[in-house]
Amino acid sequence: MYKIIRKEVLNSQVKLLEIEAPYIAKKAEPGQFIMLRVNEEGERIPLTIADYDREKGTVTIIFQEVGATTKILGSLNAGDSLLDFVGPLGKPTQLEGIKKAAVIGGGLGTAIAYPQAKKLSGIGSEVHVIAGFRNKDLIILEDRMSKVANKLVVTTDDGSNGTKGFVTDVLKKLLDEGNAYDAVIAIGPPVMMKAVCNLTKQYGIKTIVSLNPIMIDGTGMCGGCRVTVDGKIRFACVDGPDFDGHKVDFDELIRRLSMYKGYERKAEEHLCRLGGIANA
């Protein structure tokens, strides 16, 4: 069992859990993920590691309540335990040698982009962070990001926080102002990552994206997470989850993510009927 030692509600849909997992905390690096199972009947879901504390032996996950499992996860509190928690899986993001980077987070992706920004800051890189949200109520991690970023721009689609627009608008502005980035790291919904890649391709800037396809085991065994990169089949769990964004087939990724849409709704309804979701 893996004990939850801290819970934080970041916004109405997004929660943070800090979990006791000393073996994983010892090895974790930005870009890697864990697989978890809440209880005996639960499914296995992948979540990217949002933070880790090697000394305390904890790993932090941040998730949005979008399906049956994340809803149950969101209903747990400090002191509760997860049945299964395994990792760190996938390859760490290659950040060495990056002197100046733009780190872009879209919605929940901001949580996954945070450890990258933190690590880059730690190795002395200049870090510009662009974090985009639909509206001001959904903004997360602003204070934490501001501590590790040399420049932080938070945007909202509706302008409710002041800076209206998409992350790509801000990135374009920064690029046109003459910022020369060694790399852009874009993490968020596939549509956002695709838009960022379309932009950076024009500027010829290396762009790293973190993919989140459906997977079962996270160790290369099911092949459910296969993505097409540079025309070849790759497994996001072992070959990624980071890839060169300019070579990823995002349309295929988006399509594959929809594979169980109908089934997921059914499972969620079932759990609601059972009263399995305390906060639903």
**Where does this chain bind another protein (CB under 8 A)?**
23-24, 27, 37, 41-44, 68-69, 83-89, 216-217, 219-224, 226-228, 233, 238, 252, 255-256, 258-260, 263-264, 267, 270-271
Phi, psi of 70 (to 5 degrees): -65, -25
Residue 2 has what DSSP assignment?
E
Minimum CB distance to another protein, residue 102 (Å)? 30
Amino acid at 117: A
Minimum CB distance to another protein, residue 27 (Å)? 7
Query: Cα–Cα distance between 132 and 262 in angstroms, integer?
Result: 28
Q: Is the distance from CB of 222 to CB of 199 less than 8 angstroms?
A: no
Query: Cα–Cα distance between 6 and 26 in angstroms, integer?
Result: 19
Closest by CA to 2, choosing from 66, 65, 47, 64, is 47
C-beta neighbour count of 246 within 10 angstroms:
16
Minimum CB distance to another protein, residue 23 (Å)? 5
**Which CB sits closer to another protein, 58 or 155?**
58
Task: Report helix, strand or coil for 25.
Answer: helix
**Which CB sits closer to another protein, 43 or 169?**
43
**Which CB sits closer to another protein, 45 or 199?**
45
* CA 26 remoteness from chain centre: 20
Minimum CB distance to another protein, residue 24 (Å)? 7
**Which CB sits closer to another protein, 31 or 107?**
31
Minimum CB distance to another protein, residue 224 (Å)? 5
**Which CB sits closer to another protein, 69 or 116?**
69
**Which CB sits closer to another protein, 60 or 121?**
60
Q: Is the distance from CB of 204 to CB of 42 less than 8 angstroms?
A: no
Minimum CB distance to another protein, residue 22 (Å)? 10
